[in-house]
Chains A and B, each alone.
Chain A
Amino acid sequence: MSKRFPVSSLLPVAVLLLLLLVPWLSIHVPVVFNGPLNTPGNLQLLAVGFTLGIAALSYNLLFGYTGVLSFGHALFFGAGVYLPAIALRHWEWTVGPSLLFGLAGGILLAVAVGALSLRTHGVYFAMVTLAFAQAGAVIVGKNVGDLTGGEEGLSLRTRGLPDWMVGVVNTDKLYWLALSMLIVVYLLAWRLTTSPMGQIWKGIRENEQRIEMLGVRPYVFKLLAFVISSSLATLGGTIYLFLASGATPRVVSANFTVTLLLMVIIGGSGSLWGPIAGALLYHYLDVRLTDWAASDVVADLPVVLSRPLRDPLFIFGTIFILLVMFFPRGLAGAFGGRSRPFRHVLGGAVARSVTAHGKGPE
């Protein structure tokens, strides 16, 4: 595997430049975006997509690169959303300590959950992480200790924040924050996946027993992958908090993890950029379908069409099935080209790691 810089053609650079310039571009893109491109609404749409991109990319470090299927990723994204929100709201901390608290909390949680869950394999691991995430969802949903606001969620307390992070006029600053974080996470992920550790991750994905026979403990490297991936999700969650101006229980739900998985499948699990593209596309469709469902065009359709169209989750479920059945490599598989870090994706590898251990303990 070459350590070539990930930007191997002009296209990604052009896309990146364009994205950096978006807050200054007041051009109209009819149908795709409402009004000029740089309205706060459109910037918000893209920026939330970037934070979901961070989450999906981090998820794929585990799922696509290490072959570990976790159903608990929402827990760590949610920690990044809720912990700083709680510190800001209830303890009236300033933004710096709140962010550190969120990140430290996310990392500690990841170490604890990972160390425990990774004692199991395959399907057991998936269910155990699901259970831990469910515990998190219960704590948030039932408003334990009056901290999380329960089903209502928690609005962001803006008094502890610097001025540039507050208000609709400053959406452009948050946009750049989200984009630069996405770039940093992408470069970090690229560096990690091409490092010797990344090679071991891929080795674990391909054949865990063989890695073990080489004298490497897969457990340690899976735990590293789990902690790194989860911490990056926490980081994404924190930026999401500022963009969404608050925390809602949705971000710790099992459905949110399913959503991340869907983003990865849409984009393709075989590349770093695939999940980002998948996240952007997913979030865009999610917002647009909801807008669209409320429009007259849909209302005028016969009931058999209009009812399903009003239910984004139903549509995404159907898309999920179709992708898995017919386009298992997602966007990255369709437009892969040179930037694809490895060729055969998921095919037998993760599958083998699931079934090899699926029958129970070693």
Chain B
Amino acid sequence: MSTFVLLTLTGLALAAMYFLLAAGLSLIFGLMDVLNFAHGAFFTWGAYSAWWTIDRFSPAGTGSTPAFFLAIIAATAVGAVLAAAVEIGLIRPLYRRPIFQVLVTLGAGLALSQLTSVIWRPDARFFPQPGWLSDTSTILGARVPNNRFLLILAALAVLGGMLLFLSKTRYGLIVRAGAENREMVRALGIDVDRAFTLVFALGGALAGLGGAFGAAYFGAIDPTFGSVNLIFAFIVVVIGGLGSVTGSALAAVIIGLAQQFGNYYTSWAGDFVIVLLLAAVLLLRPGGLLGGSR
């Protein structure tokens, strides 16, 4: 029983991390038709910014609580700024050539991820965190690290916030309308380009946030941190349905749990089951679980 609870909660925390990556990817694709391969780099940079902030503002080798919250803010901000820079500097000039937009995000992802290796060397870095975060709480006999709960709470807050943003705000309306018919929104005199930058920055912020929490989850980071998780985020986005935030959340839970439970039995079963799930979803519902209406 305790193993089941532990695997479930850890799986949900993993799902929360995938969701933070996938939500931005899905939104960016929904609005701009750009498959953003640089998203993993925003995640990596979030993780490194968080690590750097904690390292700088806490006593050596430990993580203080204020430094941790400062790190979360820094990671989110760095993710947003990087994403906005990539959108304005690289993607916008290639507006009429979508395939090149995809290629340029691929190059940006590679260069930006490697830049962390250039600056902080390729070795893995231990991620210091406050004691209360790495301590465990006992639930139904399972000893679960507290950072799992924080990650799940953060993802739930982001999910709620995004749904509110999309349904209640003017920009949310533009984003949803732009995803339906970009040219029509433009014809109505609305600056869609600004919405592009906004969505990119928002996605980058979530990826940066996910990177900081992911670093706490895994306890260590290295320059390939983002690209490894990006592949799973892609799978989440496809299974959930491109452009659907709720779909991403649902798919993230499925993938996170499948991966945790599968990998409990053998080190590779979880990763393998996910690919089989993906194949099954594509055969039965090629648009993804909640993407069928588009």
A and B are interacting partners: yes
A: which residues have CB within 8 A of B? 69, 116-117, 119-120, 123-124, 126-128, 130-132, 134-135, 138-139, 142, 144, 254-255, 258, 261, 265, 307-308, 310-311, 313-314, 316-321, 323-325, 328, 346-348, 350-351, 354-355, 358-361
Question: A144-B268, A254-B227 known; A116 and B29 CB under 8 Å?
Answer: no
Docked-complex contact B103 and A130, CB < 8 angstroms: no
Residue pair B234, A131 in contact (C-beta under 8 Å): yes
- Chain B CB within 10 Å, residue with most, of A116, A134, A313, A324: A324
Query: Counting CB contacts under 8 A, is B153 at the interface?
Result: no
Residue of A nearest to B288 (CB): A360
Q: Known: A116-B283, A355-B33. Is A134-B100 also a contact (CB below 8 A)?
A: no
Min CB distance B111 to A, Å, is 3
List of B residues within 8 angstroms of A255 by Cβ: 227
Interface of A is mostly: helix
CB nearest neighbor in B for A316:
B110
Taken together as a complex, chains A and B put the C-alpha atoms of A317 and B103 apart, in Å, by 11
- Chain B interface residue count, Cβ-Cβ cutoff 8 angstroms: 50
Bound CA–CA A126/B237 (angstroms)? 13
- Given A69-B99, A261-B103, A325-B104 in contact, is the A360-B286 Cβ separation under 8 Å? yes
A130 touches B99 (CB 8 A): no
Give 9 closest A-B pairs by Cβ, nearest first: A317-B111, A320-B107, A317-B110, A314-B114, A321-B107, A142-B268, A135-B275, A361-B286, A360-B287
User: Which one, B33, B100, B237, B275, contacts A324 given CB within 8 A?
Assistant: B100
The answer to whether residues A351 and B35 also contact, given A128-B238, A254-B231 and a CB cut-off of 8 A, is no
- Check B282–A258 contact: CB distance below 8 A: no
A142, A347, A355, most chain B CB atoms within 10 A:
A142
With A351-B97, A360-B291 as contacts: A139 and B110 at CB distance below 8 Å: no
Give per-residue flags for B98-110: 1 if the beta carbon is below 8 A from chain A beta carbons, else 0: 1110111011111
- Chain B positions within 8 Å of A, measured between CB atoms, are 29, 33, 35, 90, 93-94, 97-100, 102-104, 106-115, 117-119, 227, 231, 234-235, 237-238, 241-242, 267-268, 271-272, 274-275, 278-279, 282-283, 286-288, 291-292, 294
Cβ of B292 to closest chain A Cβ, rounded Å = 8
- Bound-complex Cα distance A268 to B70 (A): 46
Q: Cα distance A57–B292 when bound, in Å?
A: 36
The answer to whether B98 touches A116, judged by C-beta atoms less than 8 angstroms apart, is: no
Pairwise interchain contact A116-B111, C-beta atoms closer than 8 A: no
Q: Is the CB of B282 within 8 A of A311?
A: no
By the criterion CB–CB under 8 Å, are B99 and A351 in contact?
yes
How far apart are B86's CB and chain A's nearest CB, in angstroms? 10
A301 to chain B, nearest CB (A): 13
Q: Are B242 and A258 in contact (CB under 8 A)?
A: no
A sample of 14 more A-B contacts (CB under 8 A), given A130-B231, A131-B231, A142-B267, is A119-B286, A127-B235, A127-B237, A131-B274, A308-B118, A311-B118, A314-B115, A320-B106, A321-B90, A351-B98, A351-B99, A354-B33, A355-B33, A360-B294
In the bound complex, residues from chain B placing their C-beta under 8 Å from that of A142 are 267-268, 271
